[in-house]
Amino acid sequence: QNLARISDRYQQMIADLNLAPNEASNRDVLTGLGNRRLLMDRLKEESERVTRRGQGYTLAMLDVDQFKQVNDTHGHETGDRVLIAIATTLQAGLREYDVCGRWGGEEFLVVLPDTTAAEGLIVMERVRQNIAELAVRTDHDAIQVTASIGLSAHVPGETFSMTIKRADAALLDAKRAGRNRAVVAAVSD
């Protein structure tokens, strides 16, 4: 009986160890959010679901405004703390079925399943405001940052790469329009 318990525990440990590398390969080391690989897998799943069921999704590309200035002024360690705070704020502002991850650098991608662009805008506007209210403490003061967001609703028949490209273009429009705002991509004809 003791041997059976030890064997069960041993088998569970082996199962946990096998899961750990897979989990680690899907997580951003700094923020703990999903990484680009996890996001790409989720986008493939969402695109397949859209093909099967016809329900759409919206993508949001979020970029921390003038992040280079944070690193240059306060150092990379503080920059990392800002990214961690943003990741926590981002995740807290989303719905339980939304997926967010670090796309790269100071860019984050959010997958909003079963969501129109208008609904996605409401969610991401709340996130944007929460980020603007954040204050990350340093030794001498507190750093406040803002974020620009580009959203695009997936259009039936387009690849998720095209949806990402439109979200990225909307993000650029948000930056050009003065930063600290969310912009929805126009659907091309």
> What residues are annotated to the active site?
106
Residue 66, judged by CB atoms within 10 A of its CB (0-12, 13-18, 19+), counts as middle
Question: How many Cα neighbours within 13 Å face the side chain of 149?
Answer: 28
Q: Please enumerate, as own/partner, the contacts of 48-55 that have beta carbons within 8 Å and a separation of 24 or more.
A: 49/113, 50/154, 50/156, 54/156, 55/113, 55/114
User: Which residue type, as a one-letter code, is found at position 107?
Assistant: E
